[in-house]
Amino acid sequence: MSETNRIEYKRELTEGLEKEVIAFLNYREGGVLYIGVDKNGNTYGLADADADQLKIKDRLKNNIRPSAMGLFDIVSEVRKGKDILKVIVASGPEKPYHLKKYGMSEKGCFIRLGSAAEPMPQKMIDELFASRTRNSISKIKANRQDLTFSQLKIYYQESGHTLGNAFAKNLELLTEDGLYNYAAYLLADKNNTSIKVAKYSGTSRADLIESNEYGHESLVKATKQVIDKIAVENRTNTKITSKERKQNNLWNPIALREAIINAFVHNDYTNEIPPKFEIFSDRIEITSAGGLPEGLSEQEFFEGFSVPRNKELMRIFKDLELVEQLGSGIPRILEHYGKESFNFSENFLRMTFMAKETAVNKDDADGKEIGGQIGGVIGGQMGGQMGGQMGGQMGGQKGSQINKETEKAIDANPELTQRQKQILKLIYVDNRISRSGIAEVLHINESAIQKHLNNLKEAGYIERIGGTRGYWQVNVEGKF
C-alpha cells in the first residue's frame, strides 16, 4: 500500500516521529504510522524493534502536549520475516496537539494534508484552541480528595504491572493543580457511581424481575462484575438436529464483551450518568451517555476510527488487557451484528442485540451438570461465576479434575500472574482447549491470550504437541 491521508511509512525511527503523530492527533480520523517500511511500501525491518518500541513510547509521552497517553498504540508486526512497528494514533479530543518545546505555534503544530504532515496555520491553531474540550473528566476536580486505590493496584499487579508512588500523576489522575480529578474518582475504591443491570420477564419494561446494582467502587471492578453477570445470563443452549448437536449462546460472547467495555470506556461521565444494561426475553440493550464524539460521522464510527472520549480510562483498560487496541471494538461487534444494532441520539448511544432462537433439552442440562463439576473444581481462585461459566462451556466434554495439590502449587507460584494461573488451570482440565475457547471463558481478547500462552511456553510451563490440531502438555515436573 502507498501512503495516504491515514497511512505514513518510515524506514527507521527518526527525529520526525513526533511531527507525524501530532499531525494524526490533529486530524479528524487519526492514522497509522509504520516504522521499518520505506515510502514505497518496501519492508526493511528494524534491528531492535523492542528497544525502538520503548523509545517511541517515551518520546510520545514526554514531547507532545496536551498528553497523548491513551491516544496511541504501538503494535509489533512481522512482515516478510522482518520486525516492524505499527503506531496506531487516534484523533485527539484536545486539539491542537503540539511539540512541547515549540508550544502552540506554526513550528509546533501540524495537520495531515493528503499524505504529508504540514505546519498548521496560526488561524487554525487559535480556532482549535478556542473550541478545545474543557469538560473532560481529567479537568474536573473530584468532589472528594480522600481517595484510595487498593483495587486498582491489585488489578495492575494481576496484569504483571506495579503502580509506584507517582501512579496518580503517571496515569493522569490529577488536575493541573495537583488534585484528584474525576477520572481518579471513578477508579477509586469508593465513589457514588451506580451501575445497574436490569432483567425483565418479557419484551417490555413492564415486569422487572431482577435489578442488580454494581459500582460504588473502582470502575474496573464494576466492569468485571457486569461482564461476569451478563456472561451468566448469556447461557449456553443446545439444539438437536437430525445430524448433530449444536450449542449456542443467546448472544455472541466476544461481541457482547466488547459492547460492555465500550459502554464503560466511552460513556460521558461529565453529567454523572453511568452506562445502563437491560436484559429482555428477546434482546439485550446497552445504553451509554454521550452521542458520537464531535467531528466523527456514523460511517467513520463503524469503520473503527477512534476518538476516545475518556483517554485516561482507555489507557488503564488497555494496561489491564480489557481493551486490545484502539478502534478494534466496533469492528469486532460488526463481525456478528449489523449496523442496525446501533442507535445514535444527541445524548446517548444504544446497542441492541437480539437473542438467538435456541431450544433447551435434557442432554444440555446433563452436559452443564458435568461441566459444572469440572468448572467448580477449578473455580475457587477464579470465582464461582467464572467456574460456572467454564462449566457451561465445557459441558459434555471429557476432562480430568485438577489435582488439589497442583492447584495450590499453581496459586502459590510467585512467577505467574493471576491471569497465567487461570490459563494454566484451564489447560490442565482440558488440554485441547483452543485459544478462542480460553478467551471466551476468561472474557478477554484472543491476542491477549496469545501473549500469555507465549510467555508460559517460553518459561517452560506448557508445550504444544502436534501443532494446531494437537494438544497442550503441562510440564508439572520441576515447576509445581
3-state SS of the chain is: CCCCCCEEEECCCCCCHHHHHHHHHHCCCCEEEEECECCCCCECCCCCHHHHHHHHHHHHHHHEECCCCCCEEEEEEEECCEEEEEEEECCCCCCCCEECCCCCCCCCEEEEECCEEEECCHHHHHHHHHCCCCCCCCCCECCCCCCCCHHHHHHHHHCCCCCCCCHHHHCCCECCCCCEEHHHHHHCCCCCCEEEEEEECCCCCCCEEEEEEEECCCHHHHHHHHHHHHHHHCCEEEEECCCCEEEEECCCHHHHHHHHHHHHHCCCHHHCCCCEEEECCCEEEEEEECCCCCCCCHHHHHCCCCCCCCHHHHHHHHHCCCCCCCCCHHHHHHCCCCHHHEEECCCEEEEEEECCCCCCCHHHHHHHHHHHHHHHHHHHHHCHHHHHHHHHHCCCCCCCCCCHHHHHHHHHCCCCCHHHHHHHHHHHHCCCCCHHHHHHHHCCCHHHHHHHHHHHHHCCCEEEECHHHCEEEECCCCCC
Long-range contacts (CB closer than 8 Å, 24 or more residues apart) made by 259-263? 259/286, 259/329, 259/333, 259/351, 259/353, 260/223, 260/226, 260/227, 260/230, 260/286, 261/223, 261/227, 261/317, 261/322, 261/323, 261/329, 262/288, 262/329, 262/330, 262/333, 262/351, 263/287, 263/288, 263/351
Tell me the whole-structure pTM to 2 decimals. Answer: 0.63
Rounded CA separation 261/278 (Å): 15
Q: Could you tell me which residues are beta bridge partners of residue 421?
A: none
**What is the Cα Rg of the chain in Å?**
24
Class of domain 370-474: mainly alpha
> CA angle, corner 326, sides to 252 and 276, nearest 5?
50
Q: Do domains 194-354 and 370-474 have the same CATH topology?
A: no
pLDDT tens for the 480 residues of the chain, in order: 688 889 999 999 988 999 999 999 999 889 999 999 999 889 999 999 999 999 999 999 999 998 898 899 999 999 889 999 999 999 888 899 999 999 999 999 999 999 999 999 999 998 888 777 656 788 889 989 999 999 999 999 888 888 889 999 999 999 988 999 999 999 999 999 999 999 999 999 998 999 999 989 999 999 999 999 998 888 765 555 555 555 578 999 999 999 999 999 999 998 888 999 999 999 999 999 988 876 678 887 888 777 778 889 999 998 998 887 777 788 889 999 999 999 998 889 999 999 986 444 444 444 444 444 444 444 444 444 444 444 444 433 334 456 677 788 888 888 888 888 888 888 888 888 888 778 777 767 777 888 888 888 888 888 888 776 778 888 866 566
Instruction: Kindly provide the b/e burial profile for residues 363-380, where b requires at least 16 CB atoms within 10 angstroms of the residue's own CB.
Output: ebeebbebbbebbebbbe
Cα 234 from chain centroid?
20
Please list, in sequence order, all residues whose beta carbon lies within 8 angstroms of the beta carbon of residue 122, skipping any fewer than 6 positions away. Answer: 105, 106
Residue-range domain boundaries for the chain: 7-130, 194-354, 370-474
Predicted pLDDT at 366: 42
> CA angle, corner 425, sides to 422 and 430, nearest 5?
125
Please list, in sequence order, all residues whose beta carbon lies within 8 angstroms of the beta carbon of residue 427, skipping any fewer than 6 positions away. Answer: 433, 438, 462, 472, 474
- Residue 290 falls in which region: left (phi positive, over 0), alpha (psi -120 to 50) or beta: left
Tracing cell 508460559 back to the chain, one arrives at: 456
Q: Could you tell me which residues are beta bridge partners of residue 74?
A: 87
CATH number at 7-130: 3.30.950.30
Q: Could you tell me which residues are beta bridge partners of residue 85?
A: 35, 76
Rounded CA separation 412/405 (Å): 10
Rounded CA separation 401/72 (Å): 43
8 Å CB contact between 171 and 312:
yes
CATH number at 194-354: 3.30.565.60
**DSSP strand pairing (236-240 vs 342-344):** unpaired
Rounded CA separation 110/439 (Å): 40
Closest CA relative to residue 168, chosen from 160, 177, 68 = 177
